[in-house]
């Protein structure tokens, strides 16, 4: 069984999986990510802030849907 970890929201706001509705998502389930890769955006105070993976792994699941509201420190992506 692979070890699981989560990427948590660094701030409250609205979570986006892609930078533009026309663009593909930054990552999909099953994709591998490296530390520092962008997995989503959080909009707060009219600005968009990148959510970066804090370790390498495979995206196991999204814990928040696109355009879902997140609170600070809420897990948004599960890695394994």
Partner 1 sequence: MITIQAGGVASTVQDDGRTGHYHIGMPPSGAMDPYAHAVANTLVGNDEGAATVEMTYQGVTATFDEDAVIAVTGADMSPVVNDDPIRMWEAVAVEAGDELDMGFATSGARAYLGVAGGIDVPEVMGSRATYTLVGIGGHEGRELEAGDELPVGTAGEESADRVGSACPAESIPAYADEETVRIVLGLTDYRLTEESRTELCTAEWTVSPEADRVGYRLKGPDIEFEEREQPFGAGPDPSNVVDLGYPVGSIQVPQKPIVLMQDAVTGGGYATVGTVISADRGRLAQRQTHDAVYFEAVDVEAALAAREEKAERLAAVRDHVG
Distance of closest approach, residue 63 Cβ to partner 1, in angstroms: 16
Toward partner 1, which CB reaches closer, 21 or 30? 21
Strand partners, 71: none
Binding site for partner 1 (CB under 8 A): 10-14, 43-47, 49, 69, 71-73
Query: Do 51 and 76 touch, CB atoms closer than 8 A?
Result: yes
Toward partner 1, which CB reaches closer, 9 or 79? 9
| Residue 66 in tokens | 């696109």
Q: Which of 65, 79, 75, 64 is nearest to 31 (CA)?
A: 79
| Residue 37 in tokens | 């890769």
Toward partner 1, which CB reaches closer, 52 or 58? 52
Distance of closest approach, residue 1 Cβ to partner 1, in angstroms: 30
């Amino acid at each position: 069984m692979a070890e699981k970890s989560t990427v948590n929201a660094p701030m409250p706001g609205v979570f986006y999986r892609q930078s533009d509705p026309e663009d593909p998502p930054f990552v999909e389930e099953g994709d591998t990510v490296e530390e520092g890769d962008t997995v989503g955006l959080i909009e707060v105070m009219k600005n968009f802030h990148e959510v970066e993976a804090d370790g390498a792994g495979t995206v196991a699941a999204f814990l928040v849907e696109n355009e879902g509201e997140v609170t600070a420190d809420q897990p948004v992506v599960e890695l394994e």
